[in-house]
Every structure is written in C-alpha cells, then in structure tokens.
Amino acid sequence: MKADPKADPTAEPQYMIRFDKVGKRYGDHQVLRDLDFTVRPRERCTLIGPSGSGKTTILRLLMTLERVTSGTIEVDGELLSHMRRGDRLVPADEKHLRRVRRKVGMVFQQFNLFPNMNVLRNITEAPVRVLGRSREEAEQRAMELLEMVGLSGKADAHPGRLSGGQQQRVAIARALAMEPEILLLDEVTSALDPELVAGVQSLLRDIASEGNLTILCVTHEMNFARDISDRVLMFDHGQIVEEGPPEKIFSDPVEQRTRDFLQAVLQT
C-alpha cells in the first residue's frame, strides 16, 4: 500500500524511493520496462548489471534529468514525476520537481565541478542560491565537509589544479552540502586512476556507515558493492533479475543471469 503523507505528516514513509510500473523509452528503444522497486529510509542499495541495462537511467529519473515515459516515481512519500490536479495525475511542473528533488543529491561519474569557481564556491553556490543559506553559514558548512573529505587545505584551489580523486571528494562534499535525504552514486570511481579508487571508496563507506542517508549506488566495483550495501539488485534489460543481501547475491545467486554476470565481472 502506498504511503499517505496526509494521514500523518510526521510519520516516516514506508519507502524513501518507490518506482511503480515505470517505463522509459528513447524512440523505439525501451530502457525500463514496467519497473517496480523500492528503497526504504536509510537503506543502502546497489544496482549491478551490464552496461546499457538502464541502471544510470534510474538515477537520472530521480534527479529529474529525464522524465518517465510511463508509471510513477515517489520520493519520501511524495510523487516526483507527477502531481495531483483534482482527482487526476498530471506530469509535474518545474516548481514541483524542484521542491521534491531537493531531497536528492547525486555524485556523478565525471565530477561535474564548475572549472571557473574555486572549491569553496563549488560547494557553497547551491546552498546559497537554492536553499537560501547565508554565505557565512554555507562557507562554515563547506569547511566542515572539506575537513571530512580530507581537503581542508584546498578551499581556494580550482578544480583543474586537483587530482581526479580530489575532484571526486569535492563533488561528494558538494552533494552533502545540499543536505539530501537520498544520495545517488553513479559509478563514482570509474573515471579515477586505480590508485585513487580505494581512498574515495573508503570515504563513501564512512559516509554510508553513519546511517543517516538513503543511498542508491550504481557500480561495477563488486567489492565496493558488497561492502557498502544492505541490498544488491541485479539489473538487466530494464528489469530487476534478482535481489537480496550482498552475501547472498555474491556467494549464492539464484538466477543464471546473475551468475553469468558476476563470473564475467570478477574474472576481468
């Protein structure tokens, strides 16, 4: 049964993320097919599966970088992709999208930092402009986050003077500065040199272990998925093939498709 936030506005929703029969099509290409899945508050879920299976599309829909073709998405008990108009559901307008997606932060594969701004401005710009924080308040929080990610001495540096691992740490701090309830991680170490991967993964493990955020992660790093996740979902051709705790998925998967994928990935 869907959460009804009007019944008790103080009650925690049963699901922080809910996809209900979601389809996504690009022309004739069907990426997601009647996708149903949920993530509970403060749960850490990881999507694994072959490239092109639709995993990143799920994150882009949650960030409203894409619109659903069919079905609905809920975030924290509220419709994201649609809104109610009388007794009908209509596509959400920009005001509704902005309000609901404030609960969602994302760390991208390619960092997406503003090259013309120093590290401090990269982190503070959105809290000031979107959340209405004072510059002083935003900068104080930014410095706390930079210390947490191990970059307290880099506030005045520009992204071009940082290593890839440092840029990804800034991107993580920037996402957290928006005080999200949901953190999306999209292949956050795939653009890094191998020697930088472990440090970023360790930082994300620490963030996940605090237990305050709902985390939805897409990764090809199976050891990272095992360590960070409460639940792993095997994804293929726009559908969830299998799901379960990481020890079950990685040690004794039920589906042959999952076994084949893990065998291929773990041998490379």
Q: What is the Rg, in whole angstroms, of the alpha carbon atoms belonging to the chain?
A: 19
Domain membership flag for residue 81 = no
Question: Tell me, what's the pLDDT at 191?
Answer: 81
The set of long-range contacts for 126-133, using a CB threshold of 8 Å and a minimum separation of 24, is 126/174, 126/177, 126/178, 127/177, 127/178, 127/179, 130/102, 130/178, 131/102, 131/178, 131/179
Which residue segment(s) compose the domain that 129 sits in? 113-179
Domain membership flag for residue 20 = no
Domain membership flag for residue 173 = yes
Please spell the DSSP secondary structure of 100-148, one letter per residue: HHTTEEEE-TT----TTS-HHHHHHHHHHHTS---HHHHHHHHHHHHHH
C-alpha–C-alpha distance, residues 119 and 225, integer Å? 29
Domain membership flag for residue 2 = no
Question: Tell me, what's the pLDDT at 9?
Answer: 56
C-alpha–C-alpha distance, residues 256 and 268, integer Å? 19
Cβ neighbours of residue 165 under 8 Å, at least 6 residues apart?
A: 192, 193, 196, 197, 199, 200
Number of domains in the chain: 1
Query: b or e along 238-259 (b: 16 or more beta carbons within 10 Å of the residue's beta carbon)?
Result: bbebbbbebeebbeebeeebbe
Domain membership flag for residue 138 = yes
Domain membership flag for residue 205 = no
User: Residue 24: how many CA atoms within 13 Å on its side-chain side?
Assistant: 27
Domain membership flag for residue 128 = yes
Tens place of pLDDT per residue across the chain (268 aa): 444 545 555 667 799 999 999 999 999 999 999 999 999 999 999 999 998 889 999 999 999 999 999 999 999 999 998 999 999 999 999 999 999 999 999 998 888 899 999 999 999 999 999 999 999 999 999 999 999 999 999 999 999 999 999 999 999 999 999 999 999 999 998 888 888 888 999 999 999 888 789 999 999 999 999 999 999 999 999 999 999 999 999 999 999 999 999 999 987 5
Edge-to-edge strand ranges of the sheet holding 182-186: 104-107, 182-186, 214-218, 44-48, 231-236, 239-244
Question: Tell me, what's the pLDDT at 1?
Answer: 42
What predicted TM-score, i.e. pTM, was given to this entire model? 0.90
Domain membership flag for residue 167 = yes
